[in-house]
Chain A
Amino acid sequence: MRHGFLDRHSRLQSPIHALPAWSKALATLAVVVSMAVASPSWWPVLVVAAVLLAAVTWQSRIPAGFLLRRLLLVEPVVVIVATLALWQPGGRTLFAMLVARSTLSLAALILFVNTTRFSEVLDLLRRCRVPSLLLTVLALMYRCVFVLVDEAERLQRARVSRSFSPSAARSWRWVAFQAGQLFVRSSERAERIYAAMCARGWRP
């Protein structure tokens, strides 16, 4: 599985978790934006951001090991993309800057999503005038991800229990078949969910 299901941390109790979602969103945005405009001569800004993020991590009771592991997961991509910068003027400074800025921004975002419930995020988006159709689809998706992951796992187990000789070409067919079945089941579930929404008085 590519993503650990991480929202368990967003249900911890801490002073940071108790803050209103908009304040955390603004703070995250502030960190990310200041990282985007920070230039090499502004390195103290990076140090300040790092110290702040460390303090927030400590206060939020999110295990530091978890944060580091999440950072390491994305770091290869960051380093590869940043490597391209080495081929231009001021490359080495730029490379270091890109990696530092990117890591700090990512840490801020990881802290945000792990201290804020998605329902609060949705509320925030609603207040930012995000179209209601998009919000409905977002809420449904968030709700159904966990249901569908279980369904995918069941399909996967059924496949493993019946496959005896793995060949690459056949396994591509199998995985694609599995994906196709997943879509078929999703569309059937969508029908049932529509019936349930109607039964509960939903008006389009």
Chain B
Amino acid sequence: MNAVEVRDLAFAYSDGTPALRGVSFAVAEGECVGIVGPNGAGKSTLLLHLNGVLPEAPDGSGAVHVFGAPITKENLYEVRRTVGLLFQDPDDQLLCPTVGEDVAFGPRQLGLGGPELGARVAAALARVGLAGFEARSAHHLSRGEKRRVCLAGLLACESRVLVLDEPTSELDPRGRRELKSLLASIPATKLIATHDLEMVVELCSRVVVLDRGQVVAAGETVALLGDEALMLAHGLERPHVLRHRHPHD
């Protein structure tokens, strides 16, 4: 079964600017798919649709299916628990004064409490390498640590699908390396929107190229990202790791 399936998704902002124009693709369970494209291609807007943050009221169009079921008003919270969203700016996502409370935010919305909640928070923090950070203040963390706390918040909800918006932006090389190995170790289905094409090559088996709200190409990572003409046409660049693999080099 497909974990996520998008069929002919269209969306325009309230001022009439079209953001997505008939986007379709599917992601199988356990797969890791990269979503790449230039700035303003509609990547973030697309991701917000995957767990029903957009459109504001589920319109029942059935454009987005999660594990076979379209997102409706009734299963909205169920979908949000299944699909975890990692936002681009961790400062937007960290809501609570302390790390522990923040990781507990999601599970608490699911009705969890008491020692079970504490154990889940501790396990999620240990998973991202921040064991014992519960009482720390969110604003005293480094950028990379903040992002890992956000990730722990998703893991604590036991989301089956992780949707990540620019997870490696603004991280130093070590932070990037650590985050990449962390992501590789998580078995959930993953969709990663990013400009970090090296990471896409390392983590994703398939890639969807988005430009001006449309899917312009989709397919196997190495073949697609190695296509110099395609990359240049859509404001991207063939990643260095692929240079020596390309037939013409």
Contacts and interface: CB of A to CB of B under 8 A. Distances in A.
A/B touching: CB–CB < 8 A: yes
Interface of A: 7, 11, 117-119, 122, 139-140, 142-147, 189, 192-193, 195-203
Given A7-B137, A143-B139, A147-B139, A196 B97 contact: no
A199 B85 contact: yes
Contacts of A143: 94-97, 138-139
Contacts of A145: 139
B89 A200 contact: no
A196 B80 CA distance: 11
Contact of A139 (B84, B85, B97): B97
A104 B139 CA distance: 31
A7 to B, nearest CB: 7
B interface, size bucket:
20 to 34
**Chain B interface helix/strand/loop/mixed:** mixed
B77 A192 contact: no
Given A118-B97, A143-B138, A198-B80, A192 B89 contact: yes
B118 to A, nearest CB: 15
Interface in B154-186: 157
- Most chain A beta-carbon contacts within 10 A, residue among B52, B81, B93, B101: B93
B138 A196 contact: no
Interface of A is mostly: helix
B97 A201 contact: no
Contacts of B227: none
Nearest to A8: B140
A7 B135 CA distance: 14
